[in-house]
Amino acid sequence: MPLLLILTWDECLSQGEGYRFGPADILTVAVFAGGEQQIAVELTVSEQGHVNFPFIGSVKAAGLTASQLEKAVHGHLERDYFVDPQVHISVKEYHSLTYSISGAVRIPGKYEMKSTTTILDLIAKAEGVVSESGKIAYIMREGSQLRSEKSGNIAEPRRVNLKKLLDEGDMSHNVVLESGDSIYIPFSKMLNQSDSKVYVSGKVEKPALYDHQPGLTALSVCLMAGGFAKSAAPNRTTIVRMENEEQIILKVDLDEVVKGRGVDMPLQPGDRIHVPESWF
């Protein structure tokens, strides 16, 4: 059995505490001062990321957590209107929660969810895994940098044990997702490196197996596959590779490669290249 890299990651914050507001979210606001409720209102985050708060006016909300926005509002209200106001802000409706899932699921794609979401929720939204799915899912999060405990090399995705989660019902593996997360579930059978093939999947015109040849790169094989589909996100292309009986995942920004500002990735026999769907 090939070994997989074991990756470390900071504990995932729950959406309730760590969720950052985004456009179109609807917030419930309550302010208490002097033993009475002074404000009770619902506010919608604008496309520009602001809410129109009573007494204060426009306040930036996008990118802030509930506690951060409460602190900002408290400062304004205490300075000009109330003595020691108690500010409580929560999300009534989530409208900026977007996730993508690809690989061995029945309906891969991008999904907008209306509440806190776990990896199990997203798999269910994609109508489940296919029978050929692997037992590990990868969560790719923008801005995260994970390190392999074995090699120390920088890697991006977090591993989730789907065998424990789906087959054994162990909810400790049901990770809470953050908006923008991209989930990839590989197929159970990895390509044999001796086959001298590479596999291209996702948003290309002709996803299929292609012969490996000297000098083949990530961009060139995507061109062999007919180029990128209109809905593709080449900047988030991933390559699944076996090295020393370890499965690793590499990321390459093919948008930058096309523009001549990035370095193309040479391919090896057995590589799996995946071009995900754009979030926009």
Amino acid identity, position 88: H
Length of the chain: 280
User: At the topology level of CATH, where does 191-280 sit?
Assistant: Outer membrane lipoprotein wza fold like (3.10.560)
Q: 32 pairs with which residues across the strands?
A: 37, 86
Name which residue leads in pLDDT, 226 or 74.
Answer: 74
Q: Take residue 214 and report the two structure tokens written for it.
A: 């000297």
Q: Do domains 15-93 and 96-189 have the same CATH topology?
A: no
Average pLDDT over residues 59-84: 92
> Which residue is it, tokens 């179109």?
24
Choosing among 3.20.20.70, 3.10.560.10, 3.40.190.10, 3.40.50.2020, the CATH entry for 96-189 is 3.10.560.10
- pLDDT single digits (tens) 86-118: 999 998 887 777 888 877 888 877 788 776 789
What CATH class is the domain 15-93?
Answer: alpha beta
The whole-number pLDDT of residue 155 equals 36
For the chain, the C-alpha Rg in angstroms (whole number) is: 23
- pLDDT single digits (tens) 160-219: 999 999 999 999 999 988 877 878 787 776 555 556 889 999 998 888 888 888 788 899
Domains of the chain, by residue range, sit at 15-93, 96-189, 191-280
> Which residue is it, tokens 């409706």?
93
> Which residue is it, tokens 């590989």?
186
pLDDT at 135 over 80: yes
The whole-number pLDDT of residue 3 equals 33
In the chain, what percentage of residues exceed pLDDT 70? Answer: 84
Q: Where are the beta strands (DSSP E) in the chain?
A: 3-4, 7-8, 26-33, 36-44, 50-53, 57-60, 86-93, 97-103, 109-113, 136-140, 146-148, 154-155, 158-161, 182-185, 197-202, 208-211, 237-243, 246-252, 272-275
The answer to whether the CB of 237 falls within 8 A of the CB of 254 is yes
The answer to whether the CB of 234 falls within 8 A of the CB of 222 is yes
Q: Take residue 240 and report the two structure tokens written for it.
A: 């699944």
Q: Mean pLDDT lowest for which of 29-33, 146-150, 175-179?
A: 146-150
> DSSP state, 277?
B
Question: Is the pTM value of this prediction over 0.85?
Answer: no
